[in-house]
Amino acid sequence: MAISNDYHVEVVKTEVVLPASVIQERILPLSNLDLAVPPVCVHVFFCYEKPPQTSFASVVSNLKSSLSRAFVSCYAFAGRLVSHGVGDLQMVCNNKGAEFSEAYADTCLTQVEFCNPNGAIEGKLVPQLVNDSEGNGTPVFAVQVTQFNCSRIVVSCTFEHKIADAFSANLFFSCWTNLSRNEPIESITPSFTRSILVPRDPPVYCSPIEEMYMKVVPSAESNMQIAQPALASRIYYLSADDIIKLQLSANQHGNSYTKLEAFSAYIWKLLIQSQNMEDAQNCNISIAVDGRSHLKNIGMPANYFGNAVLAPFASARAEDIKKEPLSWSAKLIHDAIYSVANEESFQSAVDFIEISKPSLVFPKIYRNKDEPYIIVSSGLRFPLYKFDHGWGKPRLAIYNLPYTSGYVMPTLSPYGDGSWLINMNLLIDQINAIESHPNFFSRLISPNIFCDQKNV
């Protein structure tokens, strides 16, 4: 069966889904960690088999009804992001709801090149966040449900990253799917408390935070947008055996590194080895660290909704990354992670951002475009394949940040056997270079991922 990105999607209906019951309008302050997130939207795709014994119209009706009920508890996604000046943002929870689009694709889902999401998905299956025509601000969430010729369905969502990290979005998806199945949501309802991520009095920060973030004077012209170079996106399959081999290689000489640390070291090393770089050139890798577990002693709820992530990074010369063993790179990554895996680092970050105002704060890894970098954001603990709306679990689930260069996100595969899917957005020449490297795991996912038998 021919694989192609040349297919047409027709949006036949778009409406605004409102909360099932009106809540009192309120302002949900953005925390300082929210403000430090780059201005990007996150796209999420859930691919489902043909729903048995129900029509597409019934599926759409159920999705809209359960989404409306989910907005009652997850009211932030039904609000608007309002700007009162450069760098001055507020989340207004005003019950305005989110756009819900119904669409049809003129091909079979198995003919779509999902291994290349930027080419195959973006612009076709992705809902856009459009400014409110009534001047109420910018929506922060949107949904598009697309039926293919084969009757398979893709539920795709877009959300504003400044409002939520991936953990928060998954809380929302859990609530939504539970309500679709008429199951309780009390144990997974998001918490919007903002009493934890507030500056101390007086604010004070430790020096590692200053190494992680940079102050940027805001300007109305730039609006702090990230440069959008020509990127290529790919989704690869990595077997459980390959992951274990990477970990064993990193753990030689009595080391003890996690699978994520070993994989991150591997992809960092591979990127540097596959390109012609000066030996003295600095190369960086950032690993997202979730603060929820580190802040629980001061009252952060496990179901905190918002951004609770720091972005420490390791830096080394290209020569050292290339010549030293995998364990050497893994140690740099391990040390970077654990330098911020504590309560003080997160409180220091909040204070540093406060002290920096009115300047904006931006991850320092973006500061020098001439220094290659990778940003690894792990989705390995997210239950993507449990998001069942009542007609079956997803066959494929994807997080994509199409405009974020250097983005690498491993998630569990749908097979449940310890294998991973790796979504990478890199510069085109970087993708070409690493795919041609003899040590690269060159297995793109294929449409066979939708088949009953395991065959990637």
Helices (runs of H) and strands (runs of E) counted in the chain? 11, 20
Helix or strand run (H / E) with residue 432: helix 428-435
Q: What is the mean pLDDT of residues 59-70?
A: 98
Residue 222 has pLDDT above 50, yes or no: no
At residue 260 the predicted structure's pLDDT band, cuts being 50, 70 and 90, is: very high
pLDDT value at residue 85: 65
**Neighbouring C-alpha atoms within 13 Å toward the C-beta of 57:** 0
| Residues 357 and 293 occupy one common structural domain | yes
pLDDT tens, residue by residue, 306-343: 999 999 999 999 999 999 999 999 999 999 999 999 99
Residue 368 has pLDDT above 80, yes or no: no
Record the tokens describing residue 64, joined without a space.
């809209």
Q: Which residues contact 88 (CB under 8 A, 6 or more apart)?
A: none
| Residues 219 and 176 occupy one common structural domain | no
**Domain CATH for 228:** 3.30.559.10
Residue whose C-alpha is closest to residue 204's, from 18, 357, 351, 383: 351
Is the residue at 4 inside a domain? no
Residue 400 has pLDDT above 60, yes or no: yes
Please give the full DSSP string across 386-434, using - where no structure is assigned. G---SS---SEEEEE-TT-TTEEEEEE-TT-SS-EEEEEEEEHHHHHHH
- Residue where one domain finishes, among candidates 137, 155, 188: 188
| Residues 53 and 81 occupy one common structural domain | yes
Is the residue at 390 inside a domain? no
- Residue where one domain finishes, among candidates 188, 215, 243: 188
- Residue where one domain finishes, among candidates 156, 188, 220: 188
The interaxial angle of helices 259-273 and 428-435, nearest 10 deg, is 100
Is the residue at 409 inside a domain? yes
pLDDT value at residue 107: 94
pLDDT value at residue 221: 40
Is the residue at 389 inside a domain? no
Residue 220 has pLDDT above 50, yes or no: no
Residue 428 has pLDDT above 50, yes or no: yes
Q: What is the mean pLDDT of residues 377-399?
A: 95
Is the residue at 344 inside a domain? yes
| Residues 262 and 329 occupy one common structural domain | yes
**Side chain identity at residue 344, one-letter code:** E
d(CA 328, CA 310): 23
Is the residue at 198 inside a domain? no
The 3-state DSSP class for residue 252 equals: helix
Q: What is the mean pLDDT of residues 193-219?
A: 86
The interaxial angle of helices 326-340 and 259-273, nearest 10 deg, is 120
pLDDT tens, residue by residue, 103-162: 999 999 999 999 999 888 888 999 999 876 666 789 999 999 999 999 999 999 999 999
| Residues 213 and 160 occupy one common structural domain | no
Q: How many residues can be counted in the chain?
A: 456
Residue 3 has pLDDT above 70, yes or no: no
Is the residue at 80 inside a domain? yes
Q: What is the mean pLDDT of residues 376-403?
A: 93
| Residues 310 and 441 occupy one common structural domain | yes
| Residues 409 and 304 occupy one common structural domain | yes
Number of domains composing the chain: 2
| Residues 225 and 125 occupy one common structural domain | no
| Residues 368 and 339 occupy one common structural domain | yes
| Residues 276 and 248 occupy one common structural domain | yes
Residue 294 has pLDDT above 90, yes or no: yes
pLDDT value at residue 104: 97
State the pTM of this model: 0.93
Residue 5 has pLDDT above 80, yes or no: no
Mean pLDDT, the chain, as a whole number? 90
Residue 63 has pLDDT above 60, yes or no: yes
pLDDT tens, residue by residue, 87-118: 678 899 999 999 999 999 999 999 999 999 98
| Residues 165 and 27 occupy one common structural domain | yes
Residue 452 has pLDDT above 60, yes or no: no
Percent of the chain whose pLDDT exceeds 90: 70
How many Cβ atoms sit within 10 Å of the Cβ of residue 358?
A: 11
pLDDT tens, residue by residue, 269-282: 999 998 888 899 99
| Residues 232 and 103 occupy one common structural domain | no
**Side chain identity at residue 88, one-letter code:** D
Is the residue at 195 inside a domain? no
Residue 231: give the domain boundaries: 207-382+396-450
